[in-house]
Amino acid sequence: MPTHLVSLVTAAEHPAALARFWAGLLGWQIAAEVPGEGTVQAPPGDGCEIGLAFVPASQPKNGKNRLHLDLSSTSVQHQRETVARAVSLGARPIDIGQHDVPWTVLADPEDNEFCVLEPRAEYAESGSLAAIVVDAQDPARLARFWSSFTAWPVAADEPAITTLRNPTGRGPALEFLRAQTPKHGKNRLHLDIATNHDDDHAAETRRILAAGAREIGLAQGTPGAVFADLEDNEFRLLAPR
């Protein structure tokens, strides 16, 4: 596999503090905390290979994010406990027009939306994170684009949502949810992928461009490049360290 998903990156006004919030909520570990940044990872045995990284924001949050996290739960009581823990750590319930649904929508301390789901069989082996959800005008098309780079197969394809799953069956799904609102401005959250070997990087760059992405700059703070996918969502292709 030429590339693999490395992390979901969130631009934050207080990156280290937001990293501590998510570590406390998920029961994950602070993997790195340098001035102005923070990274958290799942503990051994969780099965999640994707970390959460928090970097300084260049502008304040404006509008609903196009990417968000869904948290899993094993029972209704577990769901309530997760919501209560999130609120105790600084989250708050929000209304984004969800109406009467069995999941709870919250905003973290920097107003990034996330959901605490009711128990669902499809996330029984996911660990703390059920899914990384991406708003998409054409979910199936965007899912196929991402499947080609992650080597995650399509696990479910419905009119409103297309789901990719790690072949291991562990960790969060990558879900593309139909949304009518087009993208405006730079996303506050983005995905990082990385090549496994130095000689893969140039070849993977060519493959990404051939698939319809476009290169929009150099990655800051680490070797690599920034691309926009088929619906203009930014992502980074990192070179091996």
Residue 27's domain spans which residues?
3-230
pLDDT of residue 45: 77
How many residues are recorded in the chain? 241
Structure-token pair, residue 12: 């934050």
In a domain, residue 113? The reply is: yes
pLDDT along the chain (241 residues), means of 10: 86 95 96 82 86 92 94 97 98 92 97 98 92 97 93 94 93 95 90 80 88 85 84 90 59
Nearest-CA neighbor of 43 among 22, 26, 19?
26
In a domain, residue 181? The reply is: yes
- CA separation for the pair 139, 176 (Å, rounded): 5
How many degrees, rounded to 5, is the angle at CA 117 between CA 115 and CA 123?
120
CATH number at residue 103: 3.10.180.10
In a domain, residue 241? The reply is: no
In a domain, residue 239? The reply is: no
In a domain, residue 119? The reply is: yes
In a domain, residue 103? The reply is: yes
Residue 181, C-beta contacts closer than 8 angstroms, at least 6 positions apart: 64, 135
Number of domains in the chain: 1
pLDDT of residue 198: 63
Find the distance separating the first CA and the last CA of the chain, reported in whole Å. Answer: 17
Q: What count of Cα atoms within 13 Å lies in the side-chain half-sphere of residue 228?
A: 12
In a domain, residue 95? The reply is: yes
Q: What count of Cα atoms within 13 Å lies in the side-chain half-sphere of residue 82?
A: 27
- CA separation for the pair 226, 112 (Å, rounded): 22
- 232 with 183: CB under 8 angstroms? yes
pLDDT of residue 221: 64
